[in-house]
Chains A and B, each alone.
Chain A
Amino acid sequence: MAMEVTQLLLNAQSIDGSVRKQAEDSLKQFQEHNLPAFLFSLSGELANEDKPADSRKLAGLILKNALDAKEQHRKFELVQRWLMLDATVKSQIKAGLLKTLSSPVPDARSTAAQVIAKVAGIELPQKQWSELIGSLLSNVHQLPPHVKQSTLETLGYLCEEVSPDAVEQDHVNKILTVVVQGMSSSEGNNDVRLAAIRALYNALGFAQANFSNDMERDYIMRVVCEAALSKEEKNRQAAFECLVSIASMYYEKLTPYMNDIFTITAKAVREDVESVALQAIEFWSSICDEEIDILEEYGGDFTGDSDVQCSYFVKQALNVLVPILLETLLKQEEDQDQDEGAWNIAMAGGTCLGLVARAVGDDIVPLVMPFIEENITKPDWRQREAATYAFGSILEGPSPDKLTPIVNVALNFMLSALTKDPNTHVKDTTAWTLGRIFEFLHGSTMDAPIITPENCQQIVTVLLQSMTDVPNVAGKACGALYFLAQGYEDVGPSSPLTPYFQEIVQALLTVTHREDAGECRLRTAAYETLNEVVRCSTDETATLVLQLVPVIMLELHNTLEGQKLSSDEREKQGELQGLLCGCLQVIIQKLGASEQTKYGFMQFADQIMGLFLRVFACKSATVHEEAMLAIGSLAYACGPEFAKYMPEFYKYLEMGLQNFEEYQVCSVTVGVVGDICRALENKVLPYCDGIMTQLLKDLSSNQLHRSVKPPIFSCLGDIALATGQDFEKYLMYAMPMLQSAAELSAHTAGADDEMIDYTNSLRNGILEAYSGILQGFKNSTKIQLLIPYAPHILQFLDSIYMEKDMDDLVMRTAIGVLGDLADTLGSNAGTMIQNSLSSRDFLNECLSSEDGSIKESAEWTKLAITRAISA
Chain B
Amino acid sequence: MDAQSYHPVPPGVGTEENFLSLDDILLSHQRLPVRTECAFPRLGFLDRSSDSEDLPEGTKMELPLWLSKGLYERKRRVLSVELPKVYKEGWRTVFTADPNVVNLHKMGPYYYGLGSQMLHFDSPENPDIAQTLLQTFIGRFRRVMDSSQNAYNEDTSTLLERLDCLEKALFQSGQSGLNGFQSWEKGRASQLTASSLVINYRKRKMADVQA
A and B: real partners? Answer: no
Residues of A participating in the B interface, judged by any CB pair closer than 8 Å: none
Residues of B participating in the A interface, judged by any CB pair closer than 8 Å: none
